[in-house]
């Protein structure tokens, strides 16, 4: 029993070392894949964004579908992570870790980001997409009419002309109207 435990330990350490090494020598972007919110452990390092996101519709929008709706391609495209992409959502049976509008729906595949060792701050930052410029919201949302009322919440920021001028990507509105 004890030996088995030790062996398992050694295997875990070896796997981690390989991952870290692969990252430090630079995995090709092609090797990047969607890993899902649990395996990605995003919460461990980004508790603030996670807690805020968890309260949004994005976090539960797939869970709320009926069993029949969970097979409706049109709904799946906007309620799962990476639909139609190689490592993205396929079906609940195959990819249950990629349901709902998780972090990677906006930030893209995070396998490399998670594998990069914490000591490499700059690589951590550059290994994942921060969708400031490309409007990832448009992958799933149409633009809506902007009323005078709505303009009151618009911020004078660099991104004021995009959705982010008014919406917190991990929460709701920046201010209520
Ligand atoms: C082991 C810790 C760790 C884990 C796990 C982790 N990250 Fe990060 N992440 C970091 C660090 C460190 C940075 C750089 C932060 C900084 O410089 O302020 C970062 C930066 C980011 C950024 C900002 C990039 C930028 O341009 O500034 C995003 C977005 C991000 N992570 C998303 C995620 C997502 C999504 C997951 C889960 C799939 C995840 N992270 C998992 C540690 C982690
Ligand atoms: C609906 C799209 C969307 C989802 C879902 C999302 N993000 Fe983001 N995230 C963004 C955008 C857009 C930015 C850039 C914000 C800006 O520049 O004002 C961002 C920025 C960040 C940053 C950089 C620091 C910051 O707060 O600006 C981190 C870290 C981050 N996200 C982590 C996460 C994690 C972890 C999750 C899942 C729990 C997540 N995000 C889910 C769109 C999203
Ligand atoms: C992968 C698809 C997807 C992406 C990307 C996405 N959303 Fe959503 N979003 C949804 C779905 C689905 C809903 C729920 C719609 C419904 O309930 O009818 C939603 C709901 C919302 C809501 C209403 C929330 C509430 O609680 O009432 C807001 C606001 C929103 N999204 C803003 C954004 C913004 C801003 C971005 C970009 C930073 C974004 N979304 C990116 C799919 C997405
Ligand atoms: C000028 C500010 C502003 C901009 C820019 C803006 N929104 Fe909104 N949006 C609002 C406000 C305010 C509401 C709340 C309306 C309400 O509850 O009556 C809202 C509501 C929403 C909703 C929820 C609608 C519903 O029926 O529940 C979604 C989704 C949304 N916005 C997405 C987006 C996306 C995607 C973009 C970028 C293409 C965007 N918004 C740009 C201010 C803005």
Kindly report the CATH number assigned to the domain that includes residue 97: 1.10.1130.10
Q: How far is the CA of 17 from the centre of ligand 2 (A)?
A: 28
User: Within a 10 A sphere around the Cβ of 54, how many other Cβ atoms?
Assistant: 13
Separation CA 17–CA 29 (nearest Å) = 20
Alpha helices in 28-102 (DSSP H): 37-40, 42-45, 47-54, 73-79
Looking at the structure, do residues 101 and 169 belong to the same domain, yes or no? Answer: no
Total domains in the chain come to 3
The residue segments making up the domain with residue 144 are 130-177
Looking at the structure, do residues 68 and 20 belong to the same domain, yes or no? Answer: no
Rounded-to-5 percentages of helix, strand, coil across the chain: 50, 0, 50
Question: Which residues have CB under 8 Å from 9's CB, separation 6+?
Answer: none
Looking at the structure, do residues 86 and 21 belong to the same domain, yes or no? Answer: no
Determine the 3-state secondary structure of 50 from DSSP. Answer: helix
Looking at the structure, do residues 172 and 141 belong to the same domain, yes or no? Answer: yes
What angle (nearest 5°) sits at the alpha carbon of residue 60, between those of residues 167 and 80? Answer: 85
Q: How far is the CA of 53 from the centre of ligand 4 (A)?
A: 16
Separation CA 75–CA 80 (nearest Å) = 9
Looking at the structure, do residues 143 and 75 belong to the same domain, yes or no? Answer: no
Looking at the structure, do residues 123 and 134 belong to the same domain, yes or no? Answer: no
Looking at the structure, do residues 71 and 4 belong to the same domain, yes or no? Answer: no
Looking at the structure, do residues 54 and 86 belong to the same domain, yes or no? Answer: yes
Separation CA 102–CA 120 (nearest Å) = 25
Q: How far is the CA of 58 from the centre of ligand 3 (A)?
A: 6
Residue with CA closest to ligand 2 atom 10 = 169
Looking at the structure, do residues 78 and 146 belong to the same domain, yes or no? Answer: no
In tens digits, the chain (177 residues) has pLDDT values of 333 433 333 333 333 333 443 444 355 556 799 999 888 889 999 999 999 999 999 999 999 999 999 999 999 999 999 999 999 999 999 999 999 999 999 999 999 999 999 999 999 999 999 887 677 898 899 999 999 888 887 776 555 567 888 888 999 776 555
Looking at the structure, do residues 12 and 76 belong to the same domain, yes or no? Answer: no
């Amino acid at each position: 029993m004890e030996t088995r435990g030790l062996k398992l330990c050694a295997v875990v350490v070896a796997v981690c070392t390989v991952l870290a090494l692969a990252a430090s020598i630079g995995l090709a972007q092609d090797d990047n894949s969607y890993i899902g919110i649990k395996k990605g452990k995003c919460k461990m390092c980004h508790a603030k964004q996670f807690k805020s996101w968890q309260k949004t519709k994005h976090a539960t929008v797939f869970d709320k579908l009926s069993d029949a709706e969970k097979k409706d391609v049109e709904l799946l495209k906007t309620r799962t992570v990476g639909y139609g992409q190689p490592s993205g959502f396929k079906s609940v049976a195959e990819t249950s870790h990629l349901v709902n509008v998780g972090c990677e729906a906006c930030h893209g595949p995070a396998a490399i980001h998670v594998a990069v060792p914490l000591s490499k701050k700059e690589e951590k930052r550059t290994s994942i997409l921060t969708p400031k410029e490309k409007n990832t919201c448009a992958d799933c949302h149409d633009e809506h009419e902007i009323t005078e009322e709505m303009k009151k919440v618009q911020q004078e920021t660099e991104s004021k002309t995009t959705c982010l001028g008014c919406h917190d990507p991990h929460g709701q509105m920046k201010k209520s109207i």
